[in-house]
């Protein structure tokens, strides 16, 4: 941080916002290959919790790249910057007292560790949406794997760019073996005590 930057401290704190919302803000980070079902699961979990009174926000790869990060490409450097910006936005939402869901490939362990450090390890919940590459390719609803195999997309995770699976995720989902309802309940069961407001 430069010598001329001095963040302000305001009277309305995260604790006050959390108390008003009656929830404990957390960042629930869904990581996995393209086509693994990250966004579908994040959407299902958010919907269930929102319907049960939690105030939430969902960040998704394509949506963020359509606006905030539309200036970034898919080189390793740009992908890391993409995740860094998302982490900063997530942190602002946490400060607002929200329960944040982020669904991004985020292929590198180091960048996921950076996110956890930025928002605080106690506020970061890692959900690994695990699905074999061949199943993700079979799904390929956006046609991205086909384009990557044809050389039309470079640096595509799982094809010509690596994915580093979480070693010890907070929640491990096997989306090729579980129904969406089962996976949704597994995530909610794992986080519900963490997001309930604690005086």
Rounded to the nearest angstrom, the gap between the alpha carbon of residue 184 and the centroid of all alpha carbons in its chain is 15
Which residues does the annotation mark as catalytic? Answer: 106
Phi-psi region of 145 (alpha: psi -120 to 50; beta: other; left: phi over 0): alpha
Residues 147, 149, 153: CA angle, nearest 5 degrees: 45
Q: How far is Cα 25 from Cα 84, in angstroms, rounded to an integer? A: 19
CA distances from 157 to 24, 62, 143 (A): 33, 15, 14
């Amino acid at each position: 941080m430069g010598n001329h930057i001095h963040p302000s401290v305001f009277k309305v704190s995260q604790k006050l916002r959390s108390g008003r919302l009656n929830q404990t803000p957390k960042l629930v980070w869904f990581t996995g290959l393209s086509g693994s079902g990250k966004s579908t699961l994040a959407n299902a979990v958010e919907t269930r919790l929102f319907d049960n009174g939690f105030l939430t926000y969902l960040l998704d790869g394509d949506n963020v790249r359509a606006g905030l990060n539309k200036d970034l490409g898919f080189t390793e450097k740009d992908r890391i910057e993409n995740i860094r910006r998302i982490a900063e936005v997530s942190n602002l939402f946490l400060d607002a007292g929200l329960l944040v869901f982020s669904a991004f490939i985020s292929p590198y362990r180091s960048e996921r560790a950076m996110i956890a450090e930025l928002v605080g390890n106690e506020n970061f919940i890692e959900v690994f949406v695990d699905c074999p590459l061949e199943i993700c390719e079979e799904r390929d609803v956006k046609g991205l794997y086909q384009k990557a195999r044809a050389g039309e997309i470079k640096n595509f995770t799982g094809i010509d760019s690596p994915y580093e699976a979480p070693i010890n995720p907070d929640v491990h989902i096997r989306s090729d073996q579980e129904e969406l309802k089962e996976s949704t309940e597994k995530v909610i069961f794992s986080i519900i005590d963490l997001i309930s407001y604690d005086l």
